[in-house]
Amino acid sequence: MGSISYVAQAIKGSESNHHQTAVDVYNRALELAGKILEKARTGEEIAGSEVGHTIDDIIRELTFENNELLTMACSQVLDEKSPDFLSAKLVNKTILAVEIGIGKRMNKSKLFQLGMASFLSDLGITHVLDIVTKKEVLNEEDWSRLRTISYKTVEILKKIPDLNKVVLTVAEESHERLDGSGPMGIKDIKQLDEFSRIVAVIDVFESLTHDRPHRPRNLPHEAMKIILEDGGKFEADVLRLLVDRIGIYPVGSWVRLTNKEVAKVVGSNPGQPLRPRIKVLFDERGETLEDPQLVDLSKNLSIQVSQPVSDDELKKFVKPVD
C-alpha cells in the first residue's frame, strides 16, 4: 500500500507542477499578446524578438506533453467581455498550431516559425475592433470588413525588421479556403503554404470554441463536427491531425461514461479519437470520488464515452478541481 500511495502522490505532484507551469506560460503569453495588439493598434514598432521567448516556452511544454497548456487553449479561460479575449485568441491559436506541427513531426526550427506565424497572423484585427467587439449578430457589411484583416495584418508585419517571409505568407493566406471563399479566392491547395493550411483550420476551431461578444462558444466536440462537416474547405491531412492531436473530446473536456460516471479528458490517443485518456472524478450520482481514477479508454474497452457534458450541466455538480 505504501508504494502505491507514493506513486499516487508522485503523479499528483507531477500534475500540479504541469498545471502551474502551464498557467505561468499562458499568462506570460497573454500579457505579451496584449502588448503586441496594442502596438499594432497604435502603429508603434513591434520587434519580432519580443515574441521568440514565448514561442520557445510553448514549444517546450507541448513537446514534453504538458497537456495542461492544451486544456487552457481549448477552454473558456477569459470572459468574452474581457478586453483580453483577443489576446487569448493569439495565444490559443499558437498553442494549437504548434500541437499540429508536433503531429507533423516538424523540427524545432519549423515549429518556431509556425508558432511565430500563428501568433502574428491576425494583428490586423485591431483595425476592426468595432466589429469584433459588436454584441449584435454580424451582418454582411461587417463580414466584408472582417475580410480585410489579412491585408491589414500584412501591412503591420511588413514594418517588423528581419521577420521570416513565411510569417507574412501565413498572414496573407490563412483566411483562404479550398472552396475559393477566402479573400483571394485561392482554391488550389498547392498554392497555399503548409503553415497557412494549418493556421486556417486552427483559426476556425479556436473561434468556434470560445465565446465572442455576438455569440456563445460551441463545445469542442460541436466545433469538431462543424469543421469536419465543412471539410471541403480545409486540407484533409490537417483535419486528421486536428482530430488525432486535439481529439473529438479535446483535453480539458468533460464527458459522461457509459457507466454514468463523469470524467475529465486529460489526454488524446492518436488514431483512437473516441477513446481518450481520462480522469474519473464523479460517480454516477455526481458525488466527488475520494480517489480519482486515471483511465486510458484505448486499453479499457469495457467502458466508453457516452456523451459530452455541457457547460450548464457541469455547473450543477462540478466544483473547481486542480
- Residue 143, SS3? helix
> Exposure string (b/e) for 134-145, b if CB count within 10 Å is 16 or more?
eeeebeeebeee
Residue 220 has pLDDT above 70, yes or no: yes
Please state the domain extents for the chain.
Answer: 2-246, 254-317
pLDDT confidence of residue 180: 66
Please compute the mean of the pLDDT values over residues 133-147 and round it to a whole number.
89
Dist CA 82 CA 84 (whole Å): 5
pLDDT confidence of residue 72: 87
- Tell me the pTM: 0.84
Q: For 50-64, write each residue's pLDDT tens digit.
A: 899 999 999 999 998
Q: For 5-42, write each residue's pLDDT tens digit.
A: 434 444 444 566 878 899 999 999 999 999 999 999 99
Q: For 158-217, write each residue's pLDDT tens digit.
A: 999 889 999 999 999 888 777 766 676 666 667 889 999 999 999 999 999 888 888 888
Q: For 98-133, write each residue's pLDDT tens digit.
A: 999 999 999 999 999 999 999 999 999 999 999 988
pLDDT confidence of residue 171: 94
Q: Which residues contact 165 (CB under 8 A, 6 or more apart)?
A: none
H helix runs in 79-178, sequence order: 85-103, 108-119, 129-132, 140-146, 149-157, 165-173
Instruction: Kindly state the cell numbers that stand for 201.
Output: 483550420
Strands 262-267 and 254-257: antiparallel
pLDDT confidence of residue 156: 95
Where residue 234 falls among pLDDT bands split at 50, 70, 90? confident
Please compute the mean of the pLDDT values over residues 90-100 and round it to a whole number.
96
> What class is the 2-246 domain?
mainly alpha
Dist CA 202 CA 227 (whole Å): 10
